[in-house]
Amino acid sequence: MSDKLKQCREQIDALDEALLKIVNQRAALAQQIGHLKEGGVVLRPEREAQVLRRLQDANQGPLSNVAIAALFTEVMSQCRALEAPLSVAYLGPEGTFTEAAALKRFGSAVQGVSCATIDDVFRAVESGEVQYGVVPVENSTEGAIGRTLDLLLQSTLQVCGEVMLPIHQCLLAQQCDVSQIQSVYSHPQSLGQCQGWLNVNLPAAARIPVSSNAEAARLAAGHVNCAAIAGAQAAGHFGLNVCVENIEDDARNTTRFLVLGKQQVAASGEDKTSMVLSATNRPGAVHDLLASLAKYDVSMTKFESRPSRSGLWEYVFYVDIEGHQTDEKVVLALAELKQSAAFMKILGSYPLAV
């Protein structure tokens, strides 16, 4: 071993010892805080978001802000689990993007519960079987997950947080001569995320929607002239080759997930508030709703209409705004909005995804 290598390793050893000491000091303080809190609340989403933001602002590298967030999420996860690990339900099966989102938010020291449907995740949190749930809510290319929106309307759960996860799609097939590919299987969401690429590269291939990307890979494994669109991790499992990577039309293709719980999250300084509204049945009603937000200078980050189940051609609107429901201008805007809306339900205020 060269002297230089030896020297670097000795320096790393010294740093590791310092790290060890500090993470244990941190864990001891987290324990103290746990004993100070009443009612056994172990997770403070607003506080965790503040910690990560501050560290990312202070980060000078070489570790990326993504790596710093991952490391400190894990530190907080282990400190939290000193008392008892959090239980978190997510839309399964294991290995899906939703599990990855839950891990990204809560770290590895949690008790994960895989659920078969979005309904089951809501039920698991409502019944108290788990403390938090994670469900997908929208994709940047393909739009809303309708079932999540419908359940949010009915449920008494609070939105306690959001997670953003970049999604990369690949073309998987037994053989990578794309001129031979006659059909492409995938979940409709994924077909939609890659339609531009398909139009250019596989214009003649049939696009066959199936229930999941894993099912698509399974089907493609059975036919030499078929391909699947799925994540790279599905390739090995079904004996397929990754023919083309990152075929999503938008390189920033991202899925947004919501964290569900029973807790009203306090303001973190950079927050969002989600709500459902319906307008009264008269001309200009929707415009009036939005006017209350504009008046108090509250930015809207999402406005999504969805058929209401209560009548033909009636709609509810899913609206996200910047700010916490306790922020002064948000309080004023919401009070006015409430006057003009036929129906209004606040789903929760929570920190912006870090």
Restricting to residues 66-105, name those near a second copy by CB under 8 A.
67-68, 70-72, 74-75, 78-79, 81-82, 89, 92-96, 99, 103
Q: Does residue number 63 form part of the binding site for a second copy (CB under 8 A)? A: yes
Q: If DSSP states are collapsed to H, E and C, what string results for 255-301?
A: EEEEEEECCCCCCCCCEEEEEEEEECCCCCHHHHHHHHHHHCCCCEE
Q: Does residue number 195 form part of the binding site for a second copy (CB under 8 A)? A: no
CB-neighbour burial class of residue 231 (10 A; exposed 0-12, middle 13-18, buried 19+): buried
Cβ closer to a second copy: 121 or 286?
Answer: 121
Query: Are the CB atoms for 97 and 187 separated by under 8 Å?
Result: no
Say how far apart CA 326 and CA 265 lie, in whole Å: 10
Candidates 168, 237, 262, 287; binder of a second copy (CB under 8 A) is 237
Say how far apart CA 185 and CA 170 lie, in whole Å: 12
Cβ closer to a second copy: 81 or 275?
Answer: 81
Candidates 146, 166, 196, 236; binder of a second copy (CB under 8 A) is 236
Q: Does residue number 62 form part of the binding site for a second copy (CB under 8 A)? A: yes
String of contacts with a second copy for each residue 246-285, x by CB under 8 A:
----------------------------------------
Cβ closer to a second copy: 81 or 229?
Answer: 81
Q: Does residue number 234 form part of the binding site for a second copy (CB under 8 A)? A: yes
Candidates 9, 252, 287, 309; binder of a second copy (CB under 8 A) is 9
Distances in whole angstroms, Cα of residue 69 to Cα of each of 25, 34, 48, 52, 251: 20, 22, 10, 6, 22
Candidates 39, 40, 58, 204; binder of a second copy (CB under 8 A) is 58
Candidates 24, 264, 281, 301; binder of a second copy (CB under 8 A) is 24
Who contacts 172 (Cβ-Cβ below 8 Å, separation ≥6)?
217, 220, 227, 228, 229, 230, 234, 235, 238, 240, 241, 242, 243
Report, in Å, the least distance between residue 315 CB and a second copy: 32
Q: Does residue number 286 form part of the binding site for a second copy (CB under 8 A)? A: no
Who contacts 303 (Cβ-Cβ below 8 Å, separation ≥6)?
290, 317, 318, 319
Cβ closer to a second copy: 99 or 162?
Answer: 99
Q: Does residue number 25 form part of the binding site for a second copy (CB under 8 A)? A: yes
Q: Does residue number 40 form part of the binding site for a second copy (CB under 8 A)? A: no
Report, in Å, the least distance between residue 100 CB and a second copy: 9
Q: Which of residues 120-139 bind a second copy (CB under 8 A)?
A: 120, 124, 129
Query: Are the CB atoms for 170 and 246 separated by under 8 Å?
Result: yes
Query: Are the CB atoms for 137 and 144 separated by under 8 Å?
Result: yes
Using the rule CB under 8 A, give the single segment among 230-238, 244-252, 323-331, 332-340 that binds a second copy.
230-238
Say how far apart CA 80 and CA 291 lie, in whole Å: 43
Alpha-carbon Rg for the chain in angstroms: 23
What string of DSSP letters covers 105-117? HH-SSEEEEEESS
Cβ closer to a second copy: 2 or 179?
Answer: 2
Cβ closer to a second copy: 229 or 319?
Answer: 229
Rounded (10°) CA dihedral 207, 169, 251, 351 = 120
Say how far apart CA 122 and CA 110 lie, in whole Å: 18
Segment (H or E) for 316: strand 315-322
Strands (E), 17-101: 86-91
Report, in Å, the least distance between residue 311 CB and a second copy: 32
Backbone angles phi, psi at 197, to 5 degrees: -65, -40
Cβ closer to a second copy: 49 or 334?
Answer: 49
Using the rule CB under 8 A, give the single segment among 18-26, 149-157, 173-181, 314-322 that binds a second copy.
18-26
String of contacts with a second copy for each residue 139-168, x by CB under 8 A:
------------------------------
